Amino acid sequence: MKTTLFLISISISITLAQTIKTKPLLDSICGTKINRDANGKLLPRYFPNNVGKAYQKAIKLTSDFVLYHQPVDKRAGKTMLYTTCCFEGPHMKKGNDIVQGKSIGGNKAANFDAVDWMHNPAVVFSGFTQSLALDLYPFTGNKDLLTLVGQMLDYQIKYGSTPANFAWANVPYASSDPKDTVYQGALMLEHEGMRGDGLHGIEPDKLGDMGYAYIKYFQITGDKKYVTAALNCADALAKFVKKDAVPAYGNFVATQTKYSPWAFRLNARTGKVYDTYCSNVIEPIKLFDELLRIQKNIALDTSRIRKYKETRDVAWNWLFSKSGPMKTYVWNGYFEDIIGDEFQSNRIQTTPMETARYLLKNPQGVSNLDIHIQALIYYIKSAFGDETIDAIKEQTWCYEPMASHSARYASVCAMFYEKTKNEWFKEEALRNFNYGTYAVEESGAAWVGHTWPGSWWSDGYSDFIKHYFDGMAAIPEWAPAGEDHILKSTSTLTDIKYSSSSISIKTFDKEGSIIARLKAKPRKVTVGATAVSNYTWIALDQGGVLKLKYSDGNTLEIGF
């Protein structure tokens, strides 16, 4: 009987194998012929046999474009970074190119066409704060990066904040109409289910994004106006948090999953709520964590300390409650240009992956951490993985593979590989990072993904660059060899200088850790005026990796 069943099973398997045909492999991505290894696996677009150089080139092309070649929106008289979410590069339209003209630093500007679609400045500017000021500046030492980020944040404060007499006062708008130079929500599709937030519409989770960007930029500059801007975000979140989002035991009702600590969309002037549910509480949590961490540096008063702790706990407890997304997997409410979603039908990959990133960086007190991270990664792979190439799709209502989301997934996989040494996660990280490189043109214009040639400031730049740094910090052999680079610092770097003889670093905090890939083992490492030897050196084929934990000083020098 067992033999008969076995033969039947084999027969069924053969029949299924004959009827289920594998989709053919793509031969090109973003108009470029795919590089593959001997086993048919995806290699990078640039330097296919050297991922360090490949990732560095993708980062440099995109960051240099933002620094020095921003296209100008002639309708508004400003660069498109401030007036639209996206543009058409030379890969989309003949005649579009880098042309003579002034951009950041007086360099050649890009003669690209703007796209009339709602802008998402809060996501773009906060993303650039992480990508350029917190990650790329330590990697390169280029102070132009800090200047540009400061211009973005100053613009948001001056032209993209709600009035002081609004219910939600002095907080950032998440969206705006194309061509607008003063933000007040996007009205262009307000009649289509409040798509784009509508007049005076805001997204509370983006207060977490921008508030965190403000307070980190304060750590670089020491300018208290960024503390004020961050506190405005935190105060509003604390004032309007829904404390009963976590149901009492035995008192759960079906409608409970419609509510979260903060709504997704609401009117800042009146407080009227349009979309009640948003799973993205991790960004407000990050803001509160950072404000509480540096409370002495910013002289945080006791009333705020108490309110911020209470609000942070409400969000954290809801996240892991039976009505929170870590249990329900109702990951919903993030993208500004999606219509109202009363029944939480849409699913997104952004928030679960950013939640996983936060948990990996802050594992204290999280039970079953490895199970949570694996579940989140497998969920994204199964729900959003592309069927034809190593790439991740954005959301179920915009089910398109995109470079930034592939890089996000890759970075979390790399971080989990660092923790577990499970080779499957390293392989996932490598192939999805490789996919991201194909989106970057030599001109600096970046595709959203291979099915979407348009260039978005978020998907091609601010939400793309930063993920490679978490990946290289987790797997330093993926950083460029034969060069000296800081890959990651737990403390904000306020100054860094590279020379042939040393790397000089100043940090905001007097204790922390750094990871660097170096050409050779340091001759001397000092913290303050004291030479230290309690660092880890991991030799690689070329040079190696320095891992240093330090305390009692915020000036470091790595001497060669």
CA distance 6 to 25: 33
| Helical spans, DSSP H, in 422-537 | 423-438, 465-474
Which residues, other chains included, contact 342 with Cβ-Cβ below 8 Å and sequence gap of 6+? 275
Q: Which two tokens stand for residue 35?
A: 């590089």
Whole-structure pTM value: 0.93
CA angle 473, 476, 482 (to 5 degrees): 125
Helix (H) or strand (E) holding 504: strand 502-507
Nearest to 261 by CA among 328, 326, 314: 314
CA angle 296, 220, 80 (to 5 degrees): 130
First to last CA, the chain: 74
Q: Which two tokens stand for residue 489?
A: 């610092």
Q: Which two tokens stand for residue 391?
A: 């790439």
Q: Which residue has the tokens 């880098």?
A: 98
CA angle 396, 399, 403 (to 5 degrees): 120
CA distance 156 to 497: 29
User: pLDDT truncated to tens, each residue of the chain (560 aa)?
Assistant: 434 433 333 343 333 333 333 445 789 999 999 999 999 999 999 999 999 999 999 999 999 999 999 998 888 889 999 999 999 988 898 777 776 555 655 677 788 888 999 999 999 999 999 999 999 999 999 999 999 999 999 999 999 999 999 999 999 999 999 999 999 999 988 888 788 899 999 999 999 999 999 999 999 999 999 999 999 999 999 999 998 876 555 555 544 567 899 999 999 999 999 999 999 999 999 999 999 999 999 999 999 999 999 999 999 999 999 999 999 999 999 999 999 998 999 999 999 999 999 999 999 989 999 999 999 999 999 999 999 999 999 999 999 999 999 999 999 999 999 999 999 999 999 999 999 999 999 999 999 999 999 999 999 999 999 999 999 999 999 999 999 999 999 999 999 999 999 999 999 999 999 999 999 999 999 999 999 999 999 999 999 999 999 998 999 999 99
SS3 of residue 57 by DSSP: helix
- Please report the pLDDT score of residue 111 as a whole number: 84
Q: Which two tokens stand for residue 147?
A: 């200047």
Q: What is the 3-state secondary structure (H, E, C) of 234-270?
A: HHHHHHHCCHHHCCCCCCCCHHHHHCCCCCCEEECCC
Q: What DSSP assignment string belongs to 448-466?
A: SBTTB--EETIIIIITTHH
SS3 of residue 181 by DSSP: coil
- Please report the pLDDT score of residue 194 as a whole number: 80
* Spacing of C-alpha 436 from chain mean position: 14
Residue 556 contacts residue 505 (beta carbons within 8 Å): yes
Residue 139 contacts residue 486 (beta carbons within 8 Å): yes
For residue 46, what are the CA distances in angstroms to 39, 43, 437? 19, 9, 7
